[in-house]
Amino acid sequence: MSRHLFHGLLALVVPTMLFTACNKEEPTTAVITVVDEDGAPVPGAVVKLFAAPAFPLNDPNRLDKETTTDAAGRAEFDYTDEYKQGQSGFAVLDILATKDTLIGEGLIKILEEETNNETVIILPAQ
């Protein structure tokens, strides 16, 4: 292999390797904090995130997730595997939080490669 060809290939390969190494995907997460009407955290509440689009373009159920709040009233959801780099926007999801006879609802906009936070107040069901 000639020296010029080797240097030319090296000039193409090295920047490509550096570019892909610097473009690491960050986690895309949602953290929902559930509190009661006094602002106290509610451990053990069931929190569901789900998509309810008026005009679904593909399967919105792929974004549905459910978990229980920890001792601090926090429920964490990881959407890193659902987000693809280069995608414009991600999702706006409905929040439903319940515990015994308490219920709370809300919305969260999930921004890609960020930790997205929202607080939901749960009150007695009416």
Kind of pairing, strands 115-121 and 29-35?
parallel
Residue 13 has pLDDT above 90, yes or no: no
Q: How far apart are CA 97 and CA 104, in angstroms?
A: 5
pLDDT for 76 equals 98
Overall pTM > 0.85: no
Question: What pLDDT shows up at residue 37?
Answer: 96
Question: 26-124: which CATH architecture?
Answer: Sandwich (2.60)
* pLDDT(70) > 80: yes
pLDDT single digits (tens) 72-107: 999 999 998 886 665 556 788 999 999 999 999 999
16-66 confidence digits (pLDDT tens): 555 544 556 789 999 999 999 999 999 999 999 998 765 555 665 778 999
How is residue 44 written in tokens? 């053990």
Show Cβ contacts of residue 40 under 8 Å, excluding neighbours closer than 6 positions: 73
Whole-number pLDDT of residue 125: 85
Cross-strand bridge partners of residue 31: 76, 117
Token pair in block for residue 54:
């008026």
Q: How far apart are the first and last CA of the chain?
A: 79
pLDDT of residue 68 exceeding 80: yes
pLDDT at residue 6 is higher than 90: no
